[in-house]
Amino acid sequence: MSVCVCVLAGYNPRNQTHRSLLLCLLMTSCDLSDQTKGWKTTRKIAELIYKEFFSQGDLEKAMGNRPSEMMDREKAYIPELQISFMEHIAMPIYKLLSELLPGATELYERVATNRVQWTKVSHKFSVRGLPSNNSLDFLDEEYELLQSQGALGDDSHCDDTHCLNGCLDEGDGGRGL
């Protein structure tokens, strides 16, 4: 029995299988909670994760092994890997969670918003002709440049949720979504 069946059939708290599946869903959603944070935090955590992946990939290469694509700094395309992860793992998990617990809808919406931001980052990589393994630091540099030029206006109201540091929409004055 899957969590999907619980959603379709209705969650029964007296059913041990339903309770067990809900706990599994909650544990997984906790594990992926970085995807529910604001864009700046989500992006920074992704950078740290890929730094760790690439270190492992380097070790695997040094031992004569072939690392998986996401651990190979020469082949990994971080924005597309993140989009795929969100579409196939994070979004379905938070969608199920929001169907079981309507109060979790905001979490699903945040994941969907961050997925849109990864799409924008992918576009920026493409437009700038950046290599797939390029650091995401250029996004911070772009933000700081716009801020120093006064192009962002008063961003004192910005927080991690609303000010999409490093992934600004063109023509929105740096206000993000």
In angstroms, the CA 106 to CA 55 distance is 34
Name residues of the chain where pLDDT drops below 70: 1-8, 131-135, 138, 142-147, 149-177
What residues does each domain of the chain span?
32-148
pLDDT at 170: 38
pLDDT at 169: 43
Binding-site residue set: 31
pLDDT at 127: 84
pLDDT at 163: 47
Q: Global pTM?
A: 0.75
Binding-site residue set for Zn(2+): 31
pLDDT at 57: 96
Instruction: Identify the CATH assignment for 32-148 out of 2.30.30.90, 3.40.50.300, 1.10.10.10, 1.10.1300.10.
Output: 1.10.1300.10
